Structure 1
Amino acid sequence: MKRLPLATLLAIFLGWLLWAVSVRQAVLFAVGLGLGAVLAGQRFGFTTGWRMLIEDKDASGVMGQLLLLALAAAMAMPLLGHFPELTAALGPPSVSLLVGAFVFGLCMQIADGCGSGTLYKAGLGIPMNAAILPLFALGSFLGSMHLGFWLDLGRAQPVGLVNRFGWQQALLITLAVLAVVAVGVRWYARRAQRPQGTQPQPLLVRRWIVGAVLLALLATLNLVIAGQPWGVVYGFGLWAAKLAQASGAADLAGNWFWSQPGNAARLQETVLLDVTSITNIGILGGALWVSAGKPVTAKALTGTQWAVALVAGLLLGYSSRLAFGCNVGAMLSGISTGSIHGWIWVPLAFAGTIFGLRIRRHFGF
């Protein structure tokens, strides 16, 4: 589809949201369109950035992500401090988090996308990610069904830096840790490149910087409008849960996760009232607009590669629910709003990524 007719359809849907749903949901859809356009237009991939660092010793993607985290924290933490009605992306340190983050990091390299990456690449028309998307949703739903069991294995109360120290000190702590990580990443990349006799890769690349600035601004808009940080995974699980409930495939009334008051209420509402779902739909629309009229070429996969990728997609969804988010919900939103669980998520997911890359190479992706 060409951009003009697609833009017309998106504008009509936006107008319908304004008229039939709410102004807030219409604006959040517009924010989602922006998120999708930036992710797809700048090819700002969290999965790709990590892979570049490990395989190519190219730190530019991770540096872009660190810039994104710093900018998002600098905007989100003062807002959280001054407006208590806004909520942080808090998750409990738990066995669930440890297992989920590691498995997620492993599977996202095989599936070539995290939550946001799967969305925008599906919007670009990449067959593997489009096929993984419904399995991601199914996996997220299955993870939600089992989350109570995983949390019973051991958990602590969520810890929020803003609540504990105030937004000023929380921001200083966050920026200091991000600076230390940036120094470590720079040292690793320079040291790894030196024996090869090659010119060092640039640490700052325009597409990553532009993407970081725009995503930080849009994530902050999402926080202000939705009252909660940007997330992806919850929407996927909700879509599958509503299908399971409508078809009678699962009894959700007695489930620990879906019997929580907020989750139970969302099951009874249209998905268009869910803030995560509406931004997810917007991300798909924004990526579609970027790819409109531009055929996407993707590597043909063997039957074995398809099977491995689809299993990874299912586990990607399952583990994301256990880990209380993906690179967006756990890492970006968690760290930028001061949640300790975000800092626990990152090293475990990165460790999983190292193993995931080995599996990726083994199967020739």
Structure 2
Amino acid sequence: MSTASNITASAPTAPGRLSRALVLLLVAASVLAAALVAGPRYGLLLLIGLGFGLALEGFRFGFTGPWRRMILQRDPSGLIAQLVCIGIVAIAAFPLLAANPAELKGAHAPVGVAMIGGAFLFGAAMQVVLGCGSGTLVNAGSGNAVGAVALPFFAIGSFAGAYHLSWWTSIGSLPMMTLSGANGLMVTLAGLAAFSGLAYLLRAKGAFKMPPRYVGAIVVLAGLAILHLVVAGQPWGVVYGLGLWVAKGVVAVGGDLSGSTFWAAPGNAARVEASLLTDITSLTDLGLIGGAALVAWWRAGLASPVGKLPARAWLSVIVAGLVLGYSSRLAFGCNIGAFFSGIGTGSVHGWVWFIAAFTGSWAGIRLRPLLGLEARR
């Protein structure tokens, strides 16, 4: 999943059996510690996060790359795999949400001007750094220099976007619209099938080939997403945890968040004060980074590639990281919280996010050469 465009690194040495055993022991100890300190549910959530990281990096499956290949090469394989995975999640999530309305909630949000603009900007920025929400975490965890630089600025942008969210939503938005029940599920599956069919029709000759690793990724990610919904009571998300880390840092150095409607809200203020081990999104984010790092290290030893990029490229990565975080808060989620989990749990805003972000990706792909991140085409 990590990208190495214009980045070179010396080949690392593969870890030995003893060091691998020690790392596995450390991972198990971390999960056990989280369970003992915060409770079994939170230990399981950390384990689920590790599973997401292991699957995304292990199967080399993501969201940014497949969209890029669809736009540049008209290869719909990865995009269709994403839509199939969402469909599997929806088949399980819709009846679960209907049967347990008090215990489970979907990734639902309203459609608005700022939401659409935020999704477009997110789509552009994720192509600049070749990493979306989950992709940036995986890239950073697997030792990719661009992902490692973008991640902290992603977190800062997420915090700032949440801080200003109430102002942006006041510009105007529609009432929250959701699909539910058997009819809603049928509409969702029909929409996923329609977009899959359209992508297939637009393919280049001989471009469509579903590799076995995509099939594995579909099954594992769908299973983990359904398990996450049941254990956490909410769908898989990424962005909130990153902003929360910065909010905790601001408060730790004496900052005041009372000026923000979002961070001063009772639920969010309580999470800022509470242990990080009791925040659902933070645990799965940390697990995702750890899982990706484990796969990359297991394969050949974790490395931190040194980028051979011009200064304007690194500046672009920093700015894009900030935009990723800020815009994802305005858009009520990233590729995971809005697209994957939004559509998978019946949110109409997930469909709007998909269209706006895909359009933004087209623009972002054409920005990369101008920013010194790849050769001009």
Q: 2:41 aligns with which of 7, 24, 33?
A: 24
Q: 1:206 aligns with which of 204, 207, 212?
A: 212
For 2:122 and 2:290, locate their aligned partners in 1 and report how far apart those are by CA, in whole Å. Answer: 25
Does the aligned pair in 2 maintain the 1:324–1:330 contact within 8 Å? yes
* Runs of 4+, deviation exceeding 4 Å: 295-299
Per the TM alignment, residue 332 of structure 1 is displaced from its structure 2 partner at its CA by 0.5
**Sequence identity (%):** 44
- Give the letter aligned to residue 88 of structure 2: L
Per the TM alignment, residue 5 of structure 1 is displaced from its structure 2 partner at its CA by 2.1
- Give the letter aligned to residue 104 of structure 2: L
**Is 2:197 aligned against 1:179?**
no
Give deviations 1:156-185, integer Å, cap 9, x for gaps. Answer: 2211211xxxx2111100010111111110
- Give the letter aligned to residue 65 of structure 1: Q
Give deviations 1:97-145, integer Å, cap 9, x for gaps. Answer: 1111000000000011011001111110111101111110000001011
Does the aligned pair in 1 maintain the 2:120–2:358 contact within 8 Å? yes
For 1:94 and 1:271, locate their aligned partners in 2 and report how far apart those are by CA, in whole Å. Answer: 31
Does the aligned pair in 2 maintain the 1:231–1:328 contact within 8 Å? yes
For 2:167 and 2:346, locate their aligned partners in 1 and report how far apart those are by CA, in whole Å. Answer: 26
Q: 1:216 aligns with which of 222, 226, 234?
A: 222
Does the aligned pair in 2 maintain the 1:37–1:289 contact within 8 Å? yes
Per the TM alignment, residue 318 of structure 1 is displaced from its structure 2 partner at its CA by 0.5
- Give the letter aligned to residue 78 of structure 1: P
Provide the aligned C-alpha RMSD in A. 1.3
For 2:209 and 2:369, locate their aligned partners in 1 and report how far apart those are by CA, in whole Å. Answer: 25
What is the TM-score of this pair, normalised by structure 1?
A: 0.94
What is the count of residue pairs matched by the alignment? 352
**Counterparts of residues 34-113 of structure 1 (less than 5 Å):** 34-84=51-101, 85-113=103-131
For 1:299 and 1:67, locate their aligned partners in 2 and report how far apart those are by CA, in whole Å. Answer: 35
Per the TM alignment, residue 94 of structure 1 is displaced from its structure 2 partner at its CA by 1.1
Corresponding position of 1:289: 294
- Give the letter aligned to residue 300 of structure 1: K
Per the TM alignment, residue 93 of structure 1 is displaced from its structure 2 partner at its CA by 0.9
For 1:55 and 1:261, locate their aligned partners in 2 and report how far apart those are by CA, in whole Å. Answer: 46
Corresponding position of 2:321: 313
Does the aligned pair in 1 maintain the 2:46–2:283 contact within 8 Å? yes
Does the aligned pair in 2 maintain the 1:3–1:292 contact within 8 Å? no
For 2:306 and 2:122, locate their aligned partners in 1 and report how far apart those are by CA, in whole Å. Answer: 23
- Give the letter aligned to residue 207 of structure 1: R
For 1:264 and 1:364, locate their aligned partners in 2 and report how far apart those are by CA, in whole Å. Answer: 39
Q: Name structure 1 gaps, 5 residues minimum.
A: 195-199
Does the aligned pair in 2 maintain the 1:3–1:289 contact within 8 Å? no
Does the aligned pair in 2 maintain the 1:63–1:203 contact within 8 Å? no
Per the TM alignment, residue 357 of structure 1 is displaced from its structure 2 partner at its CA by 0.3
Does the aligned pair in 1 maintain the 2:232–2:280 contact within 8 Å? yes
Corresponding position of 1:331: 339
What is the TM-score of this pair, normalised by structure 2?
A: 0.91
Corresponding position of 2:202: 188
For 1:298 and 1:337, locate their aligned partners in 2 and report how far apart those are by CA, in whole Å. Answer: 40
Give deviations 1:288-328, integer Å, cap 9, x for gaps. Answer: 11011524557532212111111101111110111010000
**Counterparts of residues 204-353 of structure 1 (less than 5 Å):** 204-249=210-255, 251-293=256-298, 294-295=300-301, 296=303, 300-353=308-361
Does the aligned pair in 1 maintain the 2:157–2:324 contact within 8 Å? yes
Q: Name structure 2 gaps, 5 residues minimum.
A: 1-14
Higher helix share: 1
Per the TM alignment, residue 7 of structure 1 is displaced from its structure 2 partner at its CA by 1.4
Does the aligned pair in 2 maintain the 1:142–1:318 contact within 8 Å? yes
Per the TM alignment, residue 202 of structure 1 is displaced from its structure 2 partner at its CA by 2.6
SS in 2 for 1:316: helix
For 1:336 and 1:55, locate their aligned partners in 2 and report how far apart those are by CA, in whole Å. Answer: 27
**Is 2:135 aligned against 1:117?**
yes
For 2:89 and 2:221, locate their aligned partners in 1 and report how far apart those are by CA, in whole Å. Answer: 8
Distance 1:258 1:364, change over 3 A: closer
